[in-house]
Amino acid sequence: MFSNKESFKSAFLEKLETMYGKSFKDSALRDQYNTLGHMVREYISSRWIATNEKNRTENNKQMYYLSIEFLLGRLLGSNLLNLGILDVCREGLDELGINLDELEENEADAGLGNGGLGRLAACFLDSLASLDLPGHGCGIRYKHGLFDQKIVDGYQVELPEQWLRHGNVWELRRHDQAVEVGFWGQIEASTANGRLEFRHTKAETIMAVPYDIPVVGYETNTVNTLRLWNAEPVPFPPNNKNVLVYKRETEAVSEFLYPDDTHDEGKILRLKQQYFLVSASLQNIIRLHRERNGSLRNLHEKVAIHINDTHPVLAIPELMRILLDEEKMDWDEAWNITVHTISYTNHTTLSEALEKWPTHIFQPLLPRIFMIVEEINERFCRELWNKYTYDWKRIEDMAIIAHGLVKMAHLAIVGSHSVNGVAHIHTEILKQREMHLFHEFYPEKFNNKTNGITHRRWLLKANPQLSKLLCETIGTEWIENPAKLQALSHYKQDAAFQEKFYEVKQFRKELLAKRIEEQTGIRIDTHSLFDVQVKRLHAYKRQLLNVLHIMYLYNRLKEDSSFTIQPRTFIFGAKASPGYYYAKKIIKLINELAEKVNHDPQTNAFLKVIFLENYRVSLAEEIFPAADVSEQISTASKEASGTGNMKFMMNGALTVGTLDGANVEIREEVGAENIFIFGLTAEEVSNYYQNGGYRSADYYHHDWRIKKAVDQLVNGFFPDAGDEFEAIYDSLLIQNDEYFVLRDFAPYIDVQEKIGRAYQNRNYWLDMSISNVAQSGFFTSDRTISQYAKGIWNINPVQVVR
């Protein structure tokens, strides 16, 4: 049905009529979207079956990627692309008078994640399938993903996201594979055959029902599975609990994604979600393994389980529980299997993000799991004692349970065979600072896997214009192997190529400008430099530094009519966690600044500030291809990797950034001459924290540019703001500027000035921009996933034939 336009068109029309009982001319866009979606899913199904069949019969090692978030975005376009039927569909639909891009907008943007961590999981799924690797996702089918953001009077307002409102064509409910998960209750001990045994009684049981989403590889038959668990009541409420209360509490488990990025909420419902994900996934993994192998003795040879951050770390005690209580193994054998099955990625060293659960919450909710964690802790502390006898302080610092708290990262390190960071500098900081005691004890466990992004979504699909130009210039090899993008560097000074490259960027800037005008009513100059910062709003990401720089430029333009700059459009996109007061103030500040700057005729030709509401995957796909400058200005050492930085680079934006996260490796790949680095290094930041010596007030008093902009936060410069921004002012001066915004302010102004001048030399700029695309191949998640497959999971490609 997808072999040519004509057969596609007739199949499409027939399917639409049978699905909706109406003729094409009476159908709505949503009907048409659903029709195409169903056709594609049917088309996928034979490959999906073949993949599962192959995995079953060959009994090859499988990897399961457990993640509390999967930030998938829309699937229609990427499925069509990966199946190689994008063009035939686009052309066939065109002839029916349907625009595929418009059709796509009828798909909800699946936002089951906060930001980088969840998007990484989604990129990994795409790479696993595209590399024919047997790797599957396990997650939660949240009824409401990350909130929709509206801006009202400059303030963020959160609305519940409703991605399932019109159904989801990609999912299949698998009621036959539902499992039960138990909370609360009591543990009864007994002795059988001289062995202590434990039984969980009076548990409150809920049902986990899987919904499967096919994960289609690029130009291959492999279709892996993303299994999302839905929480539902069992037919009869356990323990004679009130039916309505039970139903409400059960459904709450998969109702909402917690909207906190890099912040630990510590709410009991969150712990319930974590155990729900882990227990359902493990029961399922083990059932499959048993069907294929009969015994669990070889589990670690046939199964790898990866935990994306500590949220699924209960996989460790849950696997122990199954092996001990159900399989009746002895502790040592169970522990050996568990450690060799599980691997862990650390995503942050921010202390406010490290999960620590009070035992008084943990124990009653998960009584048997808690017992097992206690025993893991006791055995681990005994081991420490043997090596570090009388070193009480060290043992206390490394313990899994201490001072009434369960430290999830410690459990993850002790219970897995591999601990990886997500960029070189991040892994080094883990080894030398945050986790140095563990690194000393288990040096062999630590390794680095620098993050990546799928170039299929973020270049091929998001930027078809650039992709086409690349194929015309260097051939198509780069699609299979993005390292081949390097061939582009031969053309970086080729005038004819530069011109075409420029036209593509210009075209994408015009598209974005159109979107901006639709959404904000503001018309922007598409020849201005598009300077973009899109990411979650967080103090450490320093959107404030960007804002203060814009205020400085505005002040200069106002003071001195002979002062001119390269015209710029500053574009922001960012959601703030609903409870993050300070972050919300920054959103208000950006919007107040936009209001002021965009309506000032004196500066209008030079400066525009845009806040695009509801930053999400589908909007990101429109933004990255249109960017000239990528803002990656976190306080050095705070951003573990970043992945937005890679999406920008791949689309030819130049990075202005600190030596933080993967920016360091971007500089290595592209060369120091093609990136704009400024500010404190991680080491300098660390020295300030350790030795003191930073006084933000000194920078404020000694640099009039800083003083003026900072004063404007509170002196009536923003006419309607009142004391709105006092908290921001205080963070800089009263609380001594924890993130070194004022310390890095002058270097930032300098480097931005350099960027403005560089942009005015078009050939020079294009040379740098082309070099960025040419050197971006390293950051494909295919490279990352190959490294995980070989270095951690020990899984191999499986060719699926149909």
Beta-strand relationship, 607-611 and 568-573: parallel
- Picking from 104, 224, 257, the residue whose alpha carbon sits closest to that of residue 169 is 104
- Residue 148 Cβ, how far from ligand PLP at the closest point, in Å? 13
- Residue 616 Cβ, how far from ligand PLP at the closest point, in Å? 5
Out of 41, 119, 347, 407, the active site residue is 347
- Residue 574 Cβ, how far from ligand PLP at the closest point, in Å? 9
| First vs last C-alpha separation in the chain | 17
Q: Which residues of 130-141 are buried (b: 16+ CB within 10 A; e: fewer)?
A: bbbbbbbbbbbb
Which of 366, 620, 677, 732 is close enough to bind ligand PLP by CB under 6 A?
620
Our CA angle for 542, 610, 597, nearest 5°, is 95
Q: Which is nearer to ligand PLP, 616 or 638 (CB)?
A: 616
Active site residue 514: no
- Residue 653 Cβ, how far from ligand PLP at the closest point, in Å? 12
Residue 367 is a binding residue for ligand PLP (CB under 6 A): no
- Rounded CA gap, 48 and 227, in Å? 13
The dihedral sign for the CA sequence 475, 476, 479, 481: negative
Q: Tell me if 428 sits within 8 A of 436, measured CB to CB.
A: no
Active site residue 290: no
**Per-residue binding letters, 383-422, with ligand PLP (x by CB under 6 A):** ----------------------------------------
Residues near ligand PLP (CB under 6 A), total: 12
User: Encoding tokens for residue 14?
Assistant: 């027939």
Q: Which residues of 735-750 are buried (b: 16+ CB within 10 A; e: fewer)?
A: eebebbbbbbbbebbe
Active site residue 47: no
Residue 657 is a binding residue for ligand PLP (CB under 6 A): no
Cβ-in-10-Å burial (0-12, 13-18, 19+) of 655 comes to buried
Helix (H, G, I), strand (E, B) or coil at 646: helix
Residue 535 is a binding residue for ligand PLP (CB under 6 A): yes
Q: Of all residues in this chain, which one has the CB nearest to ligand PLP in the complex?
A: 644
Residue 259 is a binding residue for ligand PLP (CB under 6 A): no
- Residue 458 Cβ, how far from ligand PLP at the closest point, in Å? 8
- Residue 649 Cβ, how far from ligand PLP at the closest point, in Å? 12
The stretch among 165-173, 226-234, 637-645, 679-687 that binds ligand PLP (CB under 6 A) is: 637-645
Q: Which is nearer to ligand PLP, 233 or 644 (CB)?
A: 644
Active site residue 492: no
Q: Which is nearer to ligand PLP, 90 or 456 (CB)?
A: 456
- Residue 639 Cβ, how far from ligand PLP at the closest point, in Å? 7
Q: Which is nearer to ligand PLP, 534 or 732 (CB)?
A: 534
Q: Which long-range contacts (CB under 8 A, 24 or more apart) does 496-500 make?
A: 497/473, 497/770, 498/762, 498/763, 498/766, 498/767, 498/770, 500/469
- Rounded CA gap, 704 and 147, in Å? 40
The stretch among 78-86, 99-107, 427-435, 613-621 that binds ligand PLP (CB under 6 A) is: 613-621
Region of residue 510 (phi > 0: left; psi between -120 and 50: alpha; otherwise: beta): alpha
Residue 123 is a binding residue for ligand PLP (CB under 6 A): no
Our CA angle for 655, 656, 660, nearest 5°, is 90
Residue 137 is a binding residue for ligand PLP (CB under 6 A): no
The stretch among 90-98, 147-155, 188-196, 642-650 that binds ligand PLP (CB under 6 A) is: 642-650
Residue 77 is a binding residue for ligand PLP (CB under 6 A): no
Instruction: Residue count of the chain, please give it.
Output: 802
Which of 37, 77, 92, 116 is close enough to bind ligand PLP by CB under 6 A?
116
Active site residue 535: yes
- Rounded CA gap, 174 and 52, in Å? 15
Which of 642, 652, 657, 777 is close enough to bind ligand PLP by CB under 6 A?
642
- Residue 644 Cβ, how far from ligand PLP at the closest point, in Å? 3
- Residue 238 Cβ, how far from ligand PLP at the closest point, in Å? 39
The stretch among 492-500, 508-516, 643-651, 781-789 that binds ligand PLP (CB under 6 A) is: 643-651
Paired strand residues for 611: 572
Q: Which is nearer to ligand PLP, 529 or 620 (CB)?
A: 620
Alpha-carbon distance values, 494 to 9, 474, 543, 757, 770 (Å): 42, 13, 36, 21, 10
Residue 115 is a binding residue for ligand PLP (CB under 6 A): yes
Out of 205, 569, 643, 658, the active site residue is 643
Alpha-carbon distance values, 737 to 216, 704, 717 (Å): 47, 17, 22
Active site residue 702: no
- Rounded CA gap, 630 and 574, in Å? 14
Residue 545 is a binding residue for ligand PLP (CB under 6 A): no
Helix (H, G, I), strand (E, B) or coil at 494: coil
Residue 237 is a binding residue for ligand PLP (CB under 6 A): no
Q: Tell me if 347 sits within 8 A of 662, measured CB to CB.
A: no
Which of 63, 83, 88, 617 is close enough to bind ligand PLP by CB under 6 A?
617
Q: Tell me if 83 sits within 8 A of 40, measured CB to CB.
A: yes
Using only C-alpha atoms, the chain has a radius of gyration, in whole angstroms, of 27
- Picking from 654, 656, 647, the residue whose alpha carbon sits closest to that of residue 624 is 647
Which of 616, 638, 667, 743 is close enough to bind ligand PLP by CB under 6 A?
616
Which of 644, 679, 756, 777 is close enough to bind ligand PLP by CB under 6 A?
644
Q: Which is nearer to ligand PLP, 595 or 669 (CB)?
A: 669
- Residue 636 Cβ, how far from ligand PLP at the closest point, in Å? 15
Binding site for ligand PLP (CB under 6 A): 115-116, 119, 535-536, 616-617, 620, 642-644, 647
Enzyme catalytic residues:
347, 535-536, 541, 643, 647
